[in-house]
Chains A and B, each alone.
Chain A
Amino acid sequence: MMRDNTVTRLIQTQSGKTNLHVWRGGHSYERQKGHIYRSEWNNLLFSTRPQPQGESCLLYFDVRTPLPYVTGTFDAIDAFHIIEHLTPEEADFFLREAFRVLRSSGILRLSTPDLESVCRAYLDRVADYERSPSATNRVRYEWSVLEMLDQIAREHSSGLMRNYIEEERFDPGYAKERFGDVFEDFLGQDQPDEANRRSAAEHPARPTPRAILRAIRKRLRRAAPFSWRYRDPGSVRDFRSSGETNKWLYDHLSLTTLLAETGFEHIVRKTYRTSDIPEWERFDLDRSTHGDYPIEPSLYVEARKTRSSPRASPQ
């Protein structure tokens, strides 16, 4: 049965492959690679915001729901920094969906922050500070802790990192090394989120039945006596389900295990330069256009769909 949101018009690469690109947005990334993925990839932007009007290349989509494609559609999928924003159950669901929409022998590429590298960096910064307790080493140490915890702990957009940046408590060299070009986004030179929110307000999307129900419930809750809304309409809760926070972190071991449990095979660790996806040299989505370094330093793992069906879910 065809779902009503199924996308039927698909873009192909120059050599006729059908690829899917899933990510959460990001201004530097868009600036550097937008023209490539917009012209040759099919794009799903993981977001709970409504689709902005006039945006036809990217489909704003909650990847915690079934992917809007027919089974066996894609030759390759690149999920850039998606998996850490999902709970392990949601990640399992997403990987199964990715498995479903891949063709036989199709490739899935995952990138995500590397918990192992983050922990090593943190311990190194502790040691550096012990050896030489300078102001620079202290700031580097503080950023290594932020790198590990802030995206998990934050309950407001941009979290503590924003405070540190406003107080100019950061070491640009170190931040660049750890966060790549994405650190420029943190500096708030561009605020894609704001711009999007504004455009969404100017061009409100057609309300879905779900959105209407949600609005009614919100009104009702506001009208209820105070004791009924102890939880205070849950702005924190809403924020935590917006997709910005990290819900889990992975390293090569947990990521390969997760892929194997879903039924993927030929699981290989890659770098920001290497991939088995055909024509990758041309797409080169993970390398900065400013030099030979990753746009956002990550763990890269690729796997293939060789079986016809995924493994049974552990539940």
Chain B
Amino acid sequence: MLTVTRTPDDLVLLHMWRDGDEYVRQKGELFLNEWTNVRFVAIPKPPVENVHYVDLSRETLEFPADTFDAANAYHILEHLTPEEGARFVAEVLRVLKPGGVFRVSVPDLEEICRSYLYHLGVASQDPSLHNVRRYRWTVMEIFEQMVREKTGGRMLEALKSGDYDREYLEEKYSDVYRPLLAAGAEEPPASNDSPSRRRRLSRFTPKALYGRLTRRIRRRATGDRKDPGVTKERVRWMHDRLSLRFLMEEAGFVEIQQKDFKQSDIPNWERYDLDCSSLAERPIDPSVFVEGRKPGSSAPVPDRPVAARS
């Protein structure tokens, strides 16, 4: 059994996420100190206090049933196949207390498709570099993370070569790409297309050969860390408000509602505000947010009027 952490109000809250440097930078202190944390990885990472590493695509949550007052799955479900996702949601239902709230956030397929069609229209009318770059990014938003064959994929390539529209990313993903946007990517690094003869030869020095060999062995032993299937960054399915609702309904959740990045029925959400950027009134990562409740009467929650009082 994994250990649980209690909040100062004596609640037991489950936080699950996979990755996001900026997210951890902004919110890490809150959830690492007060929530019980499960990080979705295939290969365990170096231990961090109060973080359990679980491969949510195949492992169960090693908590007793009816443990948590609420659970938040931040950008997990899109990295699971629909079957794995159904199993995962059922597992969360099990560990929640009756009346416990489950919040799910994932990229919003519906919004992404609308945005793609809009930018396709604009770029077809006026194929300026600015419009075409925006349009190309929206195409990648739909499926690039599903087809990528190495970590970072084409999105990273575009970011590295400067082939993207800075304004678009600033409007929509300014937190996600903040380190990059802040690093003054204004002058993209010059692409070094033809490595010099010397560099090509240096690939065959004993040191380089030894390095390549050991890396290869290590990769065999631990799994290829550049393989998006192993890093779990590969997106396995995309969701929208309907599919999340069906998924939760089928698992047995009730009172399923779409929320925005500020709203939640999780007790004391104002204190955590995990989906709102600390820098401005905007979501850290634009998403669709859906919540459901485990059936059964909830124990009265501190600081929250019980519905029956009205």
The 0/1 profile, CB within 8 Å of A marked 1, for residues 174-210 of chain B is 0000000000000000000100000000000000000
Q: Shortest Cβ distance from B160 into chain A, in angstroms?
A: 14
The 0/1 profile, CB within 8 Å of B marked 1, for residues 155-173 of chain A is 1000010000000000000
Residue of A nearest to B163 (CB): A314
In the complex, which of the residues B82, B146, B242 contacts A129, with contact meaning CB atoms closer than 8 Å?
B242
Does A149 lie within 8 Å of B242, measured CB to CB?
no
A142-159 at interface with B (beta carbon < 8 Å): 145, 148-149, 152-153, 155
Residue of A nearest to B123 (CB): A253
**Known interface pairs A141-B242, A231-B224, A236-B229. Does A119 touch B146 (Cβ–Cβ under 8 Å)?**
no
**CB of A247 within 8 Å of the partner chain:** yes
B248-269 at interface with A (beta carbon < 8 Å): none
Does B123 lie within 8 Å of A230, measured CB to CB?
no
Residue of A nearest to B243 (CB): A145
Counting chain A residues whose Cβ lies within 8 A of the other chain, the interface size class is 35 or more
**CB of B290 within 8 Å of the partner chain:** no
Residues of B within 8 A of A123 (CB): 110, 113-114, 117
B143-194 at interface with A (beta carbon < 8 Å): 143, 146-147, 149, 154, 193
**CB of B236 within 8 Å of the partner chain:** yes
In the complex, which of the residues B114, B116, B142, B220 contacts A228, with contact meaning CB atoms closer than 8 Å?
B220
Does A153 lie within 8 Å of B146, measured CB to CB?
yes
**Known interface pairs A87-B149, A141-B242. Does A153 touch B81 (Cβ–Cβ under 8 Å)?**
yes
Does B120 lie within 8 Å of A251, measured CB to CB?
yes
Count B interface residues, CB 8 Å: 38
**CB of B23 within 8 Å of the partner chain:** no
Does A119 lie within 8 Å of B223, measured CB to CB?
no
In the complex, which of the residues B82, B123, B139, B243 contacts A115, with contact meaning CB atoms closer than 8 Å?
B139
The 0/1 profile, CB within 8 Å of A marked 1, for residues 18-42 of chain B is 0000000000000000000000000
In the complex, which of the residues B120, B142, B143, B147 contacts A87, with contact meaning CB atoms closer than 8 Å?
B147
Q: Shortest Cβ distance from A119 into chain B, in angstroms?
A: 4
Q: How far is the CA of A230 from the CA of B242 in the complex (A)?
A: 37
**Known interface pairs A149-B146, A152-B146, A153-B146. Does A126 touch B240 (Cβ–Cβ under 8 Å)?**
yes
The 0/1 profile, CB within 8 Å of A marked 1, for residues 203-235 of chain B is 000000000000000001111100101100000
Beyond A227-B220, A231-B227, 7 additional pairs, beta carbon < 8 A: A123-B110, A145-B109, A148-B142, A152-B143, A228-B221, A229-B220, A231-B224
Which B residues form the contact surface with A (CB < 8 A)? 81-82, 109-110, 113-114, 116-117, 120, 123-124, 127, 132, 135-136, 139, 142-143, 146-147, 149, 154, 193, 220-224, 227, 229-230, 236-238, 240, 242-243, 246
| 16 interchain pairs, CB-CB under 8 A | A119-B113, A123-B110, A126-B242, A141-B242, A145-B243, A149-B143, A149-B238, A152-B143, A152-B146, A155-B81, A227-B220, A228-B220, A231-B220, A236-B229, A237-B229, A253-B123
